[in-house]
Amino acid sequence: MALERTLSIIKPDAVAKNVVGEIYARFEKAGLKVAAAKMKHLSRKEAEGFYAVHRERPFFNALVEFMISGPVMIQVLQGDNAILKNRELMGATNPKDAAKGTIRADFADSIDANAVHGSDAAETAAVEIAYFFAATEVFPR
């Protein structure tokens, strides 16, 4: 098993619903440790830069508008196979398709307001972690 780090964001809808603690509990129960965390209201520039891979997609503007609609909770999760494990905890992008018991099945309202973000591969995890955290802000756990 590979010890990995992944970038997780609890999106504005889930922060507004006051379920940050419930989502953290799922990370903890799955053996993922929080190695860094901050709450932030993203600027438009920050949100556009973070989701730059999607800038040509039809949903890009809606995605950016949603991500700046309120504060988000950003964390680095660390653990065995953290990247895939977090994606499994999150469930499918569209909550209608998300498996029972996943974060998106339980807390997301739509494909736009879908509660959480998680890095999808080792390369993107490294880039996304560095986007929000200095190396000195991430703690080995």
Query: How many C-beta atoms lie closer than 10 Å to residue 23's C-beta?
Result: 23
From candidates 22, 43, 93, 101, binder to ligand RTP by CB under 6 A? 93
Q: Is residue 141 annotated as involved in ligand binding?
A: no
Q: Is residue 59 annotated as involved in ligand binding?
A: yes
Query: How many C-beta atoms lie closer than 10 Å to residue 42's C-beta?
Result: 21
By CB under 6 A, tell whether 131 contacts ligand RTP: no
List binders of ligand RTP among 6-65 (CB under 6 A).
Answer: 54, 59, 63
Token couple for 103: 């974060």
Q: Which of 7, 14, 117, 133 is catalytic?
A: 117
Mutual angle of helices 20-29 and 82-90, in 10-degree steps: 130
Task: Encode burial over 94-130: b for 16+ CB neighbours within 10 A, e otherwise.
Answer: ebeebeeebbbbbbbeebbbbbbbbbeeeeebeebbe
From candidates 111, 126, 127, 138, binder to ligand RTP by CB under 6 A? 111
Size of site (CB under 6 A) for ligand RTP: 10
Pick 22 or 97: Cβ nearer ligand RTP: 97
Binding site for ATP: which residues?
A: 11, 59, 87, 93, 104, 114
Give catalytic residue positions.
117
